[in-house]
Structure 1
Amino acid sequence: MAAAGGNGRSAVAGLLADAFALQGETVLLDTVPRLASPWPGWIATAGEGLAALPPDQPATRAQARAAAAAAAASGTHRWQVMTDHLPWHVAPLVLPDAPEAWHQLAALGGWQAVIADTGHRFTQDVMTSRHTGTAGIGARWCSLPCAVPVLCAAATGEGMAALQTAVMAAEAEGLPLARVVVAVVAMSEGRLPAPVRAGATMLQPKVGSIVHVPYDERIRSHGLRDAARLKPRTLTSGRQLAEAVLSSARTSWGESLPHAAVPAAYTEGTTHRGLAPQAADHPR
């Protein structure tokens, strides 16, 4: 998650997915509409992606798996991306806001680790929820089983100010800050600016952990089209993020994490619709 755009959220999501894939089957869920998301341009197109999932009937595990495209991993391990990568001129899919719909899709595919690249503005969502008395999208993501929020912020004075506001808003709403991992993403080479270091020191007691993601010109120029060409220190930060996420999860739910949900079996040709979410919540 991020308080605003330009905080390196998608890059952090990709680094996390690449690191988790070293341990087990991993998928990244791109919840951002195609024309606002970098992921369709960062992966080799293969099939229809999310468009291949039927919007009005249950899907099978094979369909969910086939809808995911392979990402260019940093090593021999592999991870997948679930996104809308139809041609730019085709009408964008109407993707669901409901985190529960994406959780259902992830459970259907049976991956061991799931990274969600979310597009909503975290602080705005929290404050809107506070004043309308409704459950915000960010809070609903946080409430999913074994979900660890990763809050991204640019390593600038403005980025740190936005992060501090986000943390204060989350604290006021009672969100699980002790479970949150903060990724402070460098926007240039060199040491972190003094306001960023001071802000991180102040926030450290309020959140689970803070990880510095160094500047990598390869990400700035090519995104995550080829993770193997990223700097070793960049990949190391991804592994540090993954370790922080796992540590947060184990602190919250125990050393042996519970098994993920398994949807009821579905056989082609039956009338059972137990796996089909409502049309408004389906990733189509």
Structure 2
Amino acid sequence: MAGLLGGAFAASGETVLLDLAPRLVSPWPRWAAPAGGLAALPPDRPASRMQVRAAAAAAAASGPHPWQVMTDHLPWHSAPLPLPEAPEAWHQLAAVGGWQAVIADTAHAFTQDVMFSRHSGSAGLSARWCSLPCAVPVLCAAATGDGMAALQTAVMAAEADGLPLTRVVVALAATGEGRLPAPVKAGATMLQPKVASIVHVPHDERIRSHGLRDLTRLKTRTLAAGRQLAEAVLSSAHASWGETLPPAAVPAVYTEGTTHRGLAEVADHAR
């Protein structure tokens, strides 16, 4: 879903996808052109916009509207790259890069995080992502009976923890051709009043076999679902913050010789 959103948003403005998954389980290093990646950014000193943009890779074969991916391009046998968990640190990175649309492909277990936050009394990662300026959560689930059950649990947990459900967009991904199972239809009908929008994404065997190495080879209806998903996200943002969205954050100007926190330090400070 993150890739479909990236391709759709790129038609309207400069777009980047932030890959938060550990390198060895993330497909994004394979789906993006070689680049310096996250390892090229200094963790202990500020980076310029030029450095941040240069570290981002071009999404492989992304079609007529190119977009970028910020991921870990180190070889598999390299030591794990320590990355901050704090959403605020990633928000700062995106602000330095100056993109118009930012998609964070998060890797934490949403429902587990929300329930841990609820019972521990601490602010979870999910709540902190939702609190960022103009942030629209997108929950993805398989369009199966089990997928819908997991989604319903996630929505109940989010509702209990006071997360902004009316801002949430749900993406239901079909796992095969044919009609949606009855439990999926019924579950979507019950969830519709609680969330901003529910978008059905059709099955596309190209994604199952080749991933998102080439968006131009996907089915027309798959790309249309991506555009519908992007429109739902933008509509949710407009409903919360107005038709004219507020200006993006602008990091403080850095000049040589001044003191400035780096990405890792901001993450520690945010915790």
TM-score class, shorter-chain normalisation, is over 0.9
Q: Does 1:123 align with 2:111?
A: yes
- Once the two structures are superposed, the pairs formed by residues 239-250 of structure 1 within 5 Å of their partners are 239-250=227-238
| One-letter amino acid matched to 1:15 | L
Where does the alignment leave 5 or more consecutive residues of structure 2 unmatched? none
Equivalent residues of 2:44, 2:262 under 8 A apart = no
SS state of the match for residue 84, structure 1?
A: coil
* Cross-structure match for 2:33: 44
Deviations 1:103-154 (A, max 9, x none): 0000000000000000001000000001100001001000000000000001
Q: Distance in 2 between matches of 1:95 and 1:188?
A: 36
Equivalent residues of 1:18, 1:73 under 8 A apart = no
Q: Does 1:105 align with 2:117?
A: no
Match 1:210 to one of 182, 186, 198: 198
* Cross-structure match for 1:3: none
* Cross-structure match for 2:154: 166
Deviations 1:249-283 (A, max 9, x none): 0000000001100101123x32331565517559x
Where does the alignment leave 5 or more consecutive residues of structure 1 unmatched? 1-11
Deviations 1:17-40 (A, max 9, x none): 100000000000001110111111
* Cross-structure match for 1:9: none
* Cross-structure match for 1:5: none
Q: Distance in 1 between matches of 2:267 and 2:14?
A: 28
- Once the two structures are superposed, the pairs formed by residues 45-60 of structure 1 within 5 Å of their partners are 45-46=34-35, 48-60=36-48
* Cross-structure match for 2:19: 30
| One-letter amino acid matched to 1:151 | L
| One-letter amino acid matched to 2:260 | R
Equivalent residues of 1:208, 1:248 under 8 A apart = yes
Aligned length: 269
| One-letter amino acid matched to 1:271 | T
Q: Which runs of 4+ in 1 moved over 6 A?
A: none
Instruction: State the Cα distance separating 1:44 from its structure 2 match.
Output: 2.0
Q: What is the percent sequence identity of the aligned residues?
A: 78
Q: Distance in 1 between matches of 2:262 and 2:44?
A: 11
Q: Does 1:70 align with 2:58?
A: yes
Moved more, 125-134 or 85-94: 85-94
Q: Does 1:272 align with 2:259?
A: yes
SS state of the match for residue 218, structure 1?
A: helix
- Residues 1:63 and 1:87: Cα distance change in structure 2 (over 3 Å): same
TM-score norm. by structure 1 comes to: 0.92
Q: Does 1:228 align with 2:216?
A: yes
Instruction: State the Cα distance separating 1:75 from its structure 2 match.
Output: 2.6
